[in-house]
Each structure stands twice: as C-alpha cells, then as structure tokens.
A and B are shown apart, each in its own frame.
Chain A
C-alpha cells in the first residue's frame, strides 16, 4: 500500500501542485501591489499554449518555459492597460481577460491538438533521491519542480527584505501615502502586475511542458481560479501558499488515481472534488477570519490627480 499507492500519490501531488504554486505566488505578487487579477485562468491557458507552440517549433523547452512566462506578462499588460491606465473595473477586466485568453488559445491552438512537443522529463537527483520515501517523492521530478522548491524562499526574501518588495506592499496598502513618501505608485503597481503575470505564465507553461507534453483545449481546467482562491487561503503569504498548492495537488492526483483504479464512484463526482474543496478552503479561511489580511487598496484604482 505504502510503496504502491501512497508514495506514487505523493510524488504526483508534488507535480500537480507545482503549476498551482507558480500561479498562486504570481497572484500574491499582483495583489500585493493592489491589483485584483481574475484573469489567471486565461493567462495560464494562454501561457500553456505559447509554451507548447514554442517548444514544438524550436525544440527548446527552456526557451518555451520563458516564453510562457512572457505570455503571462503580455496578458497582464492588457489588464494593466485597462485597469491602471484607463481606470476600468478590475473585476470585469479580469473576467474579460479570462474569456479572451481561453478563447485565444483554443483558437490558435486548434492546429496543434494531438501533436507532441519536447518538454521536461523527470530525473533523479543523486544522493537525495536515495533517501527512503522522501527521495522518490521529492527528488525524482523534473527541473521545473526543483526550481519551484526555491521560489517561495526567494519570494519571501524579496517581499520582506528588499526595498522594492516593501515598496510594492506599501502601494497595495496605501498608494496615496506611498506616493507622498516619494514612491512611484503607478510604476510599482505595474511592476507587481507584470512580475506576477510572469510567474502565472510559468505556471501555465508547466502544464503543457511538464505535466502533459501535449496540447489540448481546456488544459488549465480551473487551476487559475483555484490559484485565485488560494491567495485568500494563504492570507497573502507565500509559506501558506505552498501548503495550499500542494493540498490541491494532492486532491487532483488522488482523484485521478481513484479513476485509474476504477472505483464505483462515478468520475463526474470525483472531478467535483477540487472545486468543492476550493469552496471549503474559502470557508475555512473565512472562519479563521484572516480575510482582513488583504492589501487595503486591493481592487481600487489609483485616480489621477486634478
């Protein structure tokens, strides 16, 4: 049971939690700067497609991974143009971004359906992978997973220890006061949004480069929305985001494995699990009462003076 079910399940958990973690961290960065971005689902889909297309045409998965991130940044730019420059409603703009992104990748991706592209494959890290159980779970993964082990720490140091990170937090809390203190509020907001978009894009790229190696419509499958919910669950903190992302990774992996074994539970009920869990997670965070941890100016545009 342990060797044949639990260990492979946990290894799959790490893999399927990784794209969610990238996206959740990206959304935390975005929201820290005060912009609510509900376009994550669209951005991940678009990034997954761009990454796949680049990997397919160039054969270079690393380039593809970076291009996926840049696709996320481009989408974030559109959101920024509507919300930061044109003062549009952030909620509706995010929804529009999702509609647009999902539509665009399904449209452009049609000729790629069924093709396979080079991606990232798993390799064992010497020594570490020979630790019993732990090695198989954590150290027989692909490069992007290993990469993801470091990102939360870098993220934490960036947000709490660098002046840029602290300035971004200030803009999300009180853009007026930040501006009075000499910070360029609008510019910082843009940086948080575009940087966050890049991370979200990396999460999307993971889906087509490491998770599947092929392109299909609806590849994001609601993970973008789960990431948005996890930001609330994480109280805007990277540490808890790690926990949340792997919790969801676990549920998704578990659900897939149950289907593979062929239980008597109908697959549609199993597929409901992650979505139902998202609602439960939100309820849980609400009961813990830390929704008040949100950046004070989240979702509120900075009006021009005069």
Chain B
C-alpha cells in the first residue's frame, strides 16, 4: 500500500528509543495545539500557559515533584508486572485500597506514637493494595481469568468501596455532610522534610525506586522475573515457578500502588476523601510504557507527566480549558510512542 513497506533492520536502531520518545512528545504537543486552534483558542497562548504552569516557577517545579510521587510509585508497580507480561491495569484500585488500609490504621490507633503508627499504616496499605492485586493474580492462575478486565473492574469496585466508607462508617460527624473522614492527627501525618514543601513520602519513593532497581538487577528472583517475562513457555522450560512469580509481581505491584495511596492520604490531604482518586493509576500505565519499564526513566517520565498535569491545571484556571485536555495528551503520547516503536526494528523503504 502507498508504495512503502517495512523492512527488518539488520540490527536494532540503537538511538531509536530516545528519539522516538522525544518525537512522540513533540507530535502529541503539536496535535494538542491543533485541537486548541480548532476549538477557537490560541494554541500559542495555550502551550505557553501549559509551559508556565509546568516549568515556569520554582513553585510549579516543586508541585510537579509532589505530584510525581504517587505516579512514580504506581508506575514502578505496574512496570514490575508488565515486565512479566502480566497486565495489571489495576493501579488505580490498588491505590484506593492502600488509602483505605492506611486510613483504617490511622483511625483505629490514633494515639499510637508516629514511629509505631507510620510503619503500621504503610504495612496496612501494602497488604490492602497487595491483596487487591492478589485477587486477579490468583484468578488468572487458577482459572485463566483475563487479568486486564478483572483488574479494571476491581478499580471501579475499589473506588465505590472508598466512597461507601467515607459516606458511611468513617464519615466525620463534624464535616457538615461532606464525605470525608476526620482529619489525621499526630503520628498519622507524614511530615515535611525540614522547611521545604517536600514531605518524607519523597524519600520513600527514592527508597522504593532504588530497592526495585537493585532487586531486579542483583537478586535471583529479579533475574527469574526477567526470564519469565519472555513468556510462560520460556518460564516453564527454565523450570521457573511461573505461578509464584506472577503472584509476586502482582503483590509488589499492588503494594507499591498501596503506598502511593497511603502517602497521598497521609501527607497531602491528611484524611480520606473521594477526591484523591484523580487517575494516577491510569497515568502510571503511560509513564511505565514511556520509560520502557526502567526505574530511572520511570522517575523522569513520572516527573514529566506530573508537570503536564500541573500545566493543564494552569490552563484550566487561566484559559478555562477542561482538565480532560491532560488525558488527551496522555493518550496521544502513548499512541505515538507505540506507533513509533516499530522504527527500532524496522525501517521504511520504498516498494520496488
């Protein structure tokens, strides 16, 4: 068709990956700008406001770091599962369960000192998030239930469960009818680092990132996961416990998203409320794929997409552009990266 065809390269295009990602970002920015023009808004002004909001002030830069914390943790989690070709689309729900777990600990033991309560909250968040990921893992292993759909459905259920709790049993009696839990106090609040706006969740993030990197790189289990990522058959021929590894990656994945939920409730809003669900779990999929599942690149792309979210918030304020503009850009970025990826292994040649 069209006189062009794909031809396999003799060896993969070594500079391909970064060029494709940059190209995809530029293309998606261009298309989004076009969309603004079609809407009768000035694209130049829109992109300027986007840029100003995302990178224009040091306040914005700090904001982006704060927002990238939950995105990074969720993306680190889904990337671990994607490595094994286990399609965990459920970070959003696992995030909600983590927030619920942490809130349970915070509301049940309000008088515990922070050095006991905080670990308990993180443990509870990891267990709840991990459990939410364990369900689809076990369904896939025992019954071959498609994990893409089960994790997605569990997202919807998790969000409704969260709403059920804050509208019901956990509702603050002094909240004038708003669906929020009582505010966390004392040991249940993750504090700021020194005088900065950053909180200690940032350190948890760095620890988790380094930990996952070291785990995948230096441990036997990490190596096994990479081998099993070549496919179930390869895993079985290599005598790897494919089922146990699947459960492990899903549990890690869920626990990390759970931590994101814990940090968001404890450090950012200091209570549980439905508005914490803003789609970080879905953004995490874009981030993980942009970063080709590597922890360091995940950090970079989490930061970029967090900045994008803040830029879009700025557009919303200044130019009355709906927040959905952000998801359009995320979708476009993901699609263009996917479409571009073939250039690593193929080149386009003219048909003879």
Contact = CB atoms under 8 A, between A and B. Distances in A.
Interface of A: 38, 42, 78, 81-82, 85-89, 91-93, 95-104, 106-108, 110, 217, 222, 225, 228-229, 232, 266, 268-269, 271-272, 275-276, 278-279, 282-283, 286-287, 291, 304, 306
Contacts of A81: 339
B339 A88 contact: yes
A283 B143 contact: yes
B149 A229 contact: yes
A99 B164 CA distance: 26
Contacts of B330: 99-100, 103
Contacts of A86: 338-342
Interface of A (DSSP majority class): helix
Interface in B148-174: 148-150, 152-154, 156-157, 160-161, 163-164, 167-168
A102 B283 CA distance: 13
27 contacts: A82-B339, A86-B340, A86-B342, A87-B6, A88-B339, A88-B341, A91-B87, A96-B338, A98-B331, A99-B282, A99-B327, A99-B330, A100-B328, A102-B327, A103-B325, A106-B322, A107-B321, A107-B322, A107-B328, A222-B156, A228-B149, A275-B156, A282-B146, A286-B143, A291-B144, A304-B5, A304-B7
A283 B139 contact: yes
Contacts of B87: 91
A248 B143 CA distance: 22
A100 B28 CA distance: 11
Contacts of B35: 107
Interface in B326-352: 326-332, 334-335, 338-342, 346
B197 interface: no
B89 interface: yes
B324 A107 contact: yes
A272 B160 contact: yes
Given A266-B167, A266-B168, A282-B145, A306 B334 contact: no
B276 to A, nearest CB: 16
Interface size class of B (residues with CB under 8 A): 35 or more
Nearest to B87: A91
A275 B328 contact: no
B289 interface: yes
Given A107-B324, A268-B161, A276-B153, 5 more contacts: A88-B335, A99-B286, A100-B334, A110-B322, A268-B160
B244 interface: no
Given A99-B327, A271-B160, A38 B340 contact: no
A229 B286 CA distance: 23
A179 to B, nearest CB: 15
Contact of A95 (B285, B324, B339, B341): B285
A85 B182 CA distance: 53
A283 B146 CA distance: 9
Contact of A97 (B145, B168, B335): B335
B15 to A, nearest CB: 19
Nearest to A232: B146
Contacts of B153: 222, 225, 229, 275-276, 278-279
A232 B5 CA distance: 35
A174 B322 CA distance: 45
B217 interface: no
B340 to A, nearest CB: 7
B8 interface: yes
Contacts of B89: 95
A102 B145 CA distance: 26
B331 A269 contact: no
Contacts of A95: 89, 285, 334
Contacts of A38: 148
Nearest to A285: B145
A65 B163 CA distance: 35
Given A266-B167, A268-B163, A278-B149, A100 B339 contact: no
Interface string B274-313: 0000000010011001000000000000000000000000
Nearest to B288: A92
Nearest to A106: B324
B182 to A, nearest CB: 20
Nearest to A89: B338
A261 B217 CA distance: 58
Interface in B1-59: 5-8, 35, 39
A266 B170 CA distance: 14
A92 B329 CA distance: 15
Of residues A86, A96, A106, A222, which shows the largest number of chain B Cβ atoms within 10 Å of its Cβ? A96
A75 to B, nearest CB: 11
B138 to A, nearest CB: 11
Contacts of A99: 282, 286, 327, 330-331, 334
A306 B339 contact: no
A138 to B, nearest CB: 30
B156 A92 contact: no
B140 to A, nearest CB: 9
A100 B327 contact: yes
A286 B145 contact: yes
A101 B335 CA distance: 12
Interface in B96-153: 139, 143-146, 148-150, 152-153
B68 to A, nearest CB: 18
10 tightest CB-CB pairs across the interface, nearest first? A100-B331, A103-B327, A88-B338, A106-B324, A96-B334, A286-B143, A268-B164, A99-B331, A107-B324, A103-B328
A127 to B, nearest CB: 42
B25 to A, nearest CB: 14
